[in-house]
Amino acid sequence: MSTSIPHEPRFWAVVPAAGVGRRMQSAIPKQYLEIHGRTLIEHTVERLLGFSVLEKLIVVIGAEDEYYKDIEMLRDSRIMLVQGGDERYHSVLNGLKALSELADAEDWVMVHDVARPCIRHSDLEWLVKQLTGHTTGGLLGMPVRDTMKRTSSSGEVIETVDRDELWHALTPQMFRMKLLYDALKKALDDGMPVTDEASAIEYAGFKPLMVEGHSDNIKVTRSADLTLAALYIQQQDKLIETV
């Protein structure tokens, strides 16, 4: 990737979609389950394609995935398909490697879960506004509002955790291209498993900025989440119609 900046930093997106969604107990990967007659991946990709700031979307597909061939939207000229890896961070790193042919070192990269189909354009705009000019980057999140408990391995409560300054981490998570690539590569080389991009950035010694988003930006993990996501999408569509 280029280290010079001949222009203002551009914005790109990586969508890891190589998982199989074991917790859904479905016969097909969860990104191909349907909400309102369209697959999860279609809902999510459409939201990102509608965000005009983004130059291109890198959608990372599983090596054994044959379902993506039926998704016409994935043939959009703004989408590049890349083969994923064993874990999420392998897939994101593969996406960044492909993107390195197009992006500059200081360009911004949004990484967004394919299973978060309810992401609002207003949250994408807010994330960009809050992070523009930031040296590291950050992520959408929601402050923890419930009482938090820590348990033993047998499920017994051993303490109540102070919820002040605790957040639920959401996506997109947005960082500078080279910084994110180097952080994920370091974690991988060190054998350090990371559950999201922000944790790789933290492991590399940097401090991501937390940006508050909306609570309807849920991740579809279990069957009940499909029903909830369908409700949120319906509500959001009605809100757009009344504007």
**2 assigned to some structural domain:** no
For residue 105, the domain's CATH number is: 3.90.550.10
pTM: 0.92
pLDDT in tens, 125-171: 999 999 988 989 999 999 999 899 999 999 999 999 888 889 999 99
Report residue 120 CA to chain centroid gap. 13
Take residue 215 and report the two structure tokens written for it.
């609570």
**84 assigned to some structural domain:** yes
Residues with Cβ within 8 Å of 86's Cβ and at least 6 positions away in sequence, in order, are none
Domain count, the chain: 1
* Contact yes or no for 194/89 (Cβ under 8 A): yes
pLDDT in tens, 55-96: 999 999 999 999 999 999 999 999 999 999 989 999 999 999
**6 assigned to some structural domain:** no
**5 assigned to some structural domain:** no
**159 assigned to some structural domain:** no
**102 assigned to some structural domain:** yes
Domain of 124, in residue numbers: 11-151+168-242
pLDDT in tens, 169-178: 999 999 999 9
**65 assigned to some structural domain:** yes
